[in-house]
Amino acid sequence: MVAKITKGSSASGALEYITRNWKLKPMDSSMASDEPDLMCLEFDAQAKMNPRVEINCVHISLDFSPEDKPKLEADPELMKTIAHDYMERMGIRDTLFVIVRHNDHDHPHCHIVYSRVDNNGKTISDHNDRFRSQKACEDITRQYGLHWGESRKKVNRERLRPHDAAKYHISDILEVVVPQCRNWEQLERALKANGISVEFKCNPNTGERQGVSFGYDDGKENHVFPGSKVGKEYSFAHLSRSLDHNQKAYEKR
């Protein structure tokens, strides 16, 4: 099992994404309602209990190996149990959360969205969360006899050079936040919330945007990549089309 973590200042986009435009019902939730508008209002109200926490919403994708599909199907409650175990190990407790299972890929996976402002208005720490998450995933994988998730099997992240590791990190963030955004402004805010900088290449005569680069500072060096080097789907042209598609899909709701 592996986990991907992204953060934001609003739960609405993440909730819309994990519920597939509100078509999927939560596998588990601490919410008072599963109605879209009420869920968003509940998250917003909780965030206002501690307005100092600007990055108040966290979205986590728990990805399992295809080899674990029979085990998870044999016990319908197992994925929920593992999701709660992961949350406990990460100190995610006494707060609003939603867990939704997806079945749109060969590998089983579920999504967790939770509020960093807990039910008492206190902050749930995200200090070193990516390192803590890696440790939690390793422990859970061993405890439940699981296999490493798809991304871990394809690339051993721990053995990558810092520059390559930064590129994969940017790709992981983009994979999650792009479907939640409908324009470049939203995408820039979502990436900034996750420590990713955005720079545009513009036509010197017209000022029109023609390209995009993404940067990530790992604490030792700032790594910058053209979007197309992160992935062909993250070139400026591809991303512009994706954002436009998201906007049109939103208007049709």
Residue 226 carries which side chain, given as an amino acid letter?
A: P
CA 148 to chain centre: 18
Residues 108 and 135 occupy one common structural domain: yes
The tens place of each residue's pLDDT in the chain, 253 residues long, gives 999 999 988 898 899 889 988 889 999 999 999 888 899 999 999 999 999 999 999 999 999 999 999 999 999 999 999 999 999 999 999 999 999 999 877 889 999 999 999 999 999 999 989 889 989 999 999 999 998 765 554 556 667 788 998 998 999 899 889 988 999 999 999 999 999 999 999 999 999 999 999 999 989 999 999 999 999 999 999 999 999 998 988 887 6
Residues 48 and 135 occupy one common structural domain: yes
The half-sphere exposure of 11 on its side-chain side, counting CA atoms within 13 A, is 29
Residues 118 and 220 occupy one common structural domain: no
Please give the angle made by the CA atoms of 130, 131 and 135, to the nearest 5 degrees. Answer: 115
CA 218 to chain centre: 18
Counting the structural domains of the chain, the total is 2
Residues 98 and 192 occupy one common structural domain: no
Are the CB atoms for 115 and 96 separated by under 8 Å? yes
Sheet holding 196-202, edge to edge: 196-202, 209-217, 222-226
| Residue-number span of the structural domain to which 54 is assigned | 2-154
Distances (CA, A) of 1 to 62, 74, 107: 7, 17, 10
- Which contiguous run of DSSP H or E holds residue 93? none
Which residue, among 75, 116, 98, has the nearest Cα to 24 in the 3D structure?
Answer: 98
- 139: domain CATH number is 3.30.930.30
